[in-house]
Amino acid sequence: MPVPTHFQFVFRGTFVNTPEEWSFGAKFSRTNTINEDATFGDIDEGGVDDAFATLLGNAYFHAGVKAADWRAYIIGTDGKMEGNGPLLRTYDSGNPQGSSGNRQPPQVSLVATLIATNKGPAHFGRLFLPGPAKAVADDLRLSTTDATGYLDLVVAFLKSVSDQIDLDDTNSSECVNVSPMGGAGAGTLQVVDHVEVGRVYDTLRTRRRQLLEERIVGGQIDW
């Protein structure tokens, strides 16, 4: 389906000592109004590495959350990947990894909602971040302090990734939401205005597909 062209980044990893995997993604603008649009050669891979490591490498995520790779796709106006494949960055060592010992089940996620200014298509985007480690309070919610900490990490991460995309002249890349709806049949792209982080953990069922339940079977009950 038609959409405005953009970069799609996907960050992937594993839950250590399990067969489970995780991923999350974000979209960034690549259009240059003065010169040619940005391509893979305009992405600073080392800078994206640093942004990924800064996001995960702390006690806000548990030690079982370990990065495996990240990849960037150029999405054309037909909504499909351009070229022969993505820009792929894998780790031989030094994989970004959380540090907290407070582990959660793999399906527990922290949701960051990306809000654009105008209502309608591309108003909302979402990141489902893996392995949040901060404990909840008696009301089963994160404290405002911890939620703000996650918020600051996500905003810094998105800004840092956008800074690694070099657009010539006065243009700069921005985190965007993209929808195939609207735009007179060409889809809609909106720049993310701000991020919101909820104080209630969410779940993502696709993050527990391999881990066996391994039920403990009790004996027959003598009623």
pLDDT single digits (tens) 61-94: 999 999 999 999 999 999 999 998 999 999 988 8
Burial of 216 (0-12, 13-18, 19+ CB in 10 A): exposed
Q: Is residue 220 part of a domain?
A: no
Q: Is residue 214 part of a domain?
A: no
Q: Is residue 212 part of a domain?
A: no
Q: Is residue 113 part of a domain?
A: yes
Q: Is residue 130 part of a domain?
A: yes
Query: pLDDT value at position 185?
Result: 81
Number of domains in the chain: 1
Distance from the Cα of residue 69 to its chain's centroid: 12
Query: pLDDT value at position 222?
Result: 80
Q: Is residue 175 part of a domain?
A: yes
Q: Can you tell me the distance from the alpha carbon of 49 to that of 87, in angstroms, rounded to the nearest whole number?
A: 13
Q: Is residue 117 part of a domain?
A: yes
Q: Is residue 216 part of a domain?
A: no
Look up the pTM and report it. Answer: 0.91
Q: Give the residue numbers spanning the domain of 177.
A: 6-207
